[in-house]
Every structure is written in structure tokens, then in C-alpha cells.
């Protein structure tokens, strides 16, 4: 009998929570009106459901419902935030403000739009991070200029799980009159997020990272902030995001946010225990294993490990029943070293020897134990069969 499948890739995507699915299911076949159809009951029912979900999302992040703009996911939200802010500034009285600051370890959904803006004439600065994956506040402050219109820093990294000092960044930006955008795809629903206390002006959310379906997300836009729309055709969502609203997906996202708000604290505590058991088990069975990024400021369900002398791709092939990752799910077709791991100072071989473990709502202690056993056995087998043994590698205990 083949070994039981184990899912350890919750950063790539999460399963839809059955309670979320139950909430959304009627909106496929029973309450199917277009929420933009205000002249009949079918449309008004759908519109009411959308507005309830808007309130649920807003409640989770401390926002007002009218500040919630529904999108297809965090990638679209990031594009709207960066390009929308840049377009509005370039077309207004503050056209001289043409400097965007972001971080070298950001997700490609921020780095790629920033690259597009750079080709369009916006000056872009990529701030480095330390070996722990965190930015240095003094370096951030020194990099700001009178022309900086936006700082974009993700709250929690999708590969190494490191949490940035978002509250301090927000306060600095607010004091300088600079917009602060944060990609919260990995943070919202996993750690406490409050857009007001953190002085966040724009926040991106992705539904499938917090147990809602793929294809739905949010851009939080602080009241009074103007963006240039990136999509025309109907003027939906305050004119910022045209297109018929996907009512079932929006209902699901609202339900998922409500569940996260109620269960976040207990879930995080439980995940931290399981994550530490995973780390302790691997370290007890293997030498030559190091943690990538800070352990003190890290998502409870994240672990990113470098296995000396082992190619990560080979390790994943040795444990096909365990869903692991060598980096972002958006770039796994690229066998180049992770830009995040390179940003924290890992060399080429170290980066290619690193594996991401993502634990989530349905991870069990039995799965953790099985993962420890499978990974330890696989690493030992790979090391035994490698040329490193002949070059002096000592077998693990």
C-alpha cells in the first residue's frame, strides 16, 4: 500500500474550509442574481450577500466596509495598488514624486509590477534584508527621499515566513506623507492585522491563502486615497475594478475571514507547537540542517530548511507522497535559486538545497511525525549515494 498523502504546502494554497464551502454553495444554484441588478429581488439578494462579506473582511483587518475592493486575488491587488498609485500621482499635481521603494525579498507579484513601473520611468529602489530576512529600519529611513510616493513591504514572506516590522514602517511612512502598501497574502488570517494601528494605506489579500477558493481577493484602500483604475468597463467597486462580481467567491471569502478572526489565536498556537515538533524531529535525525530566516519573527506554520549536500528537487522526488516546496508556487517551474534565499545571503548551492514546509489548519501530529520520518530517511539516502560521501561527508547519526 502506498504511503498516505501528506499536505505540507499551505503557503502555496489552502483547501477550502468545509464551512466556507457550505456558505458559498447556495450562491451557485439558488441565489444566482447579478449583484449589479438592483431592480429585482434576485440582484438585491446577491448584493446583500456581497455587502455582508465586505463587512466580514473589513472586520478582520480593522477597516471600513467601503474600503474593501474585491479583486481576483493578491496579484491583481498588488498591481492595482502599485500601478494605480503611480498613475494617479503622475497624472496629478505631485508628478515630481516618482520614487517607489520595495524589498528584494518581495513576492514576484510586487517585484514584477515594480519592474514595469521602472521601465515606465518610475525610480525603484530594492531594499536589502538581513540574514534573518528582516529589513533594517535605519536603512529604510535612509533610502526614503522627498520624491518617494510609496513604500511596499509584505507583512509575512511566502517562502521563509519572516514577519516584517510593519507597524514601525507604517508610522515612518505616515510621518513622511508616503503611501504604505503591504502584500498581506500570507499574513491576513494567520497573524493579527489592523490597518489603522499599522498605518497601512493599501493592503492586498488573497482568498485561497486563508481557506477560501482561488480567484478571489481584496485590495483595502484607505478612505480618501485615489488610484488610477487598471481595468475599465462598468465602474464596479468604486470605479476601481470593473467586472461582474463573483458572488459565491465573495461570500466564501467573507465566511473565511470571519472564521479566521474567531480562530486565529488558537490556530496559531497549535501550529507553532506542530512546527516546532517538525523542526525538533528533523534536527534530531540529521546533521547539516539550518533554518533559513528568523525563528523569532515567523509565521507559526512556516519552516524553511537548508539540507547540506542534498538537492531540494531530489529530496522532493524521494518523498512524492509529501507535498513540499522549493520556493514560491508561482515560480516553481524555474529551477534558478530562490530570489528570497539569495536576498538573505544564501549561496547558489545552499538555496538549491532548501525546502519550504507549510503547515495549516488540517495538519495533524501524525502527519508531522510521518513527515519527519520520510524526510530524514530520504536525506540520509541521498547523502549516502552522493559524491560528498567520498569527499569526507560523515553519515548522519
Residue 310 CA, distance from chain mean position: 27
Q: What is the dihedral of CA 156, 108, 119, 204, to 10 degrees?
A: -50
Name beta bridge partners: 323.
7
Would you call 103 helix, strand, or coil by DSSP? strand
C-alpha cell at 190: 494567520
Strand ranges, E, within the chain: 6-7, 68-71, 99-103, 123-127, 148-152, 179-183, 202-206, 217-221, 289-291, 302-307, 322-323, 354-358
Question: What is the pLDDT at residue 154?
Answer: 98
Q: Which domains are present in the chain? A: 6-13+263-384 (3.90.1150.10), 18-260 (3.40.640.10)
Question: What is the pLDDT at residue 385?
Answer: 85
Distance CA(156)–CA(123), nearest Å, equals 25
Three-point CA angle 347, 350, 351, nearest 5°: 85
Question: What is the pLDDT at residue 301?
Answer: 98
Question: What is the pLDDT at residue 386?
Answer: 74
Residue pair 274/267 in contact (Cβ under 8 Å)? The answer is no
Question: What is the pLDDT at residue 235?
Answer: 74
Residue pair 231/79 in contact (Cβ under 8 Å)? The answer is no
pLDDT in tens, the chain (397 residues): 678 999 999 999 999 999 999 999 999 999 999 999 989 999 999 999 999 999 999 999 999 999 999 999 999 999 999 999 998 775 544 567 899 999 999 999 999 999 999 999 999 999 999 999 999 999 999 999 999 999 999 999 999 999 999 999 999 999 999 999 999 999 999 999 999 999 999 999 999 999 999 999 999 999 999 999 888 887 788 768 989 999 999 999 999 999 999 999 999 999 999 999 999 999 999 999 999 999 999 999 999 999 999 999 999 999 999 999 996 555 445 568 899 999 999 999 999 999 999 999 999 999 999 999 999 999 999 999 875 455 555 555 4
Predicted TM-score of the model (pTM): 0.93
Catalytic residue numbers read 330
Task: Say which DSSP state 386 is in.
Answer: S
All residues at 6 or more sequence positions from 329 whose CB lies less than 8 Å from its CB, including other chains:
9, 11, 12, 13
Name beta bridge partners: 191.
188
Amino acid at each position: 500500500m502506498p504511503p498516505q498523502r501528506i499536505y505540507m504546502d499551505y503557503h502555496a494554497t489552502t483547501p477550502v474550509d468545509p464551512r466556507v464551502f457550505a456558505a458559498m454553495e447556495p450562491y451557485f444554484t439558488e441565489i444566482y442574481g447579478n449583484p449589479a441588478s438592483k431592480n429585482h429581488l434576485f440582484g438585491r439578494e446577491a448584493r446583500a450577500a456581497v455587502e455582508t462579506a465586505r463587512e466580514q473582511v473589513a472586520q478582520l483587518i480593522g477597516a471600513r466596509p467601503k474600503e474593501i475592493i474585491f479583486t481576483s486575488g493578491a496579484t491583481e491587488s498588488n498591481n492595482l495598488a502599485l500601478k494605480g498609485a503611480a498613475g494617479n500621482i503622475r497624472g496629478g499635481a505631485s508628478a515630481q514624486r516618482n520614487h517607489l521603494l520595495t524589498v528584494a525579498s518581495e513576492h514576484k507579484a510586487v517585484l514584477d509590477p515594480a519592474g514595469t513601473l521602472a521601465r515606465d520611468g518610475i525610480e525603484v529602489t530594492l531594499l536589502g534584508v538581513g540574514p534573518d530576512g528582516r529589513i533594517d529600519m535605519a536603512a529604510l529611513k535612509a533610502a526614503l527621499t522627498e520624491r518617494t510616493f510609496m513604500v511596499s513591504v509584505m507583512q509575512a514572506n511566502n517562502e521563509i515566513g519572516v514577519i516584517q516590522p510593519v507597524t514601525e514602517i507604517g508610522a515612518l511612512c505616515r510621518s513622511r506623507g508616503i503611501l504604505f502598501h503591504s502584500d498581506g497574502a500570507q499574513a491576513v488570517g494567520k497573524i493579527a492585522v489592523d490597518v489603522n494601528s499599522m498605518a497601512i494605506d493599501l493592503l492586498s489579500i488573497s482568498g485561497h491563502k486563508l481557506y477560501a477558493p482561488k480567484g478571489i481577493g481584496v485590495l483595502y484602500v484607505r478612505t480618501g486615497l485615489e488610484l488610477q483604475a487598471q481595468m475599465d468597463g462598468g465602474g464596479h467597486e468604486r470605479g476601481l475594478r470593473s467586472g461582474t462580481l463573483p458572488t459565491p467567491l465573495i461570500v466564501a471569502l467573507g465566511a473565511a475571514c470571519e472564521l479566521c478572526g474567531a480562530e486565529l489565536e488558537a490556530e496559531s498556537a497549535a501550529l507553532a507547537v506542530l512546527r516546532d515538533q517538525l523542526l525538533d524531529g528533523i534536527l534530531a535525525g540529521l546533521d547539516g540542517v539550518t533554518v533559513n530566516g528568523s525563528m523569532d519573527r515567523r509565521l507559526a506554520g512556516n519552516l524553511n530548511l537548508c539540507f547540506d549536500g542534498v538537492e531540494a528537487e531530489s529530496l522532493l522526488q524521494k518523498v512524492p507522497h509529501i507535498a513540499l516546496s522549493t520556493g514560491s508556487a508561482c515560480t516553481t517551474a524555474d529551477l534558478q535559486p530562490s530570489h528570497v534565499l539569495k536576498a538573505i545571503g544564501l549561496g547558489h548551492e545552499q538555496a538549491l538545497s532548501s525546502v519550504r514546509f507549510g503547515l495549516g489548519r488540517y495538519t495533524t501530529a501524525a502527519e508531522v511525525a510521518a513527515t519527519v520520518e520520510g524526510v530524514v530517511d530520504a536525506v540520509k539516502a541521498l547523502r549516502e549515494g552522493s559524491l560528498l560521501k567520498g569527499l569526507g561527508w560523515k553519515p548522519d547519526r
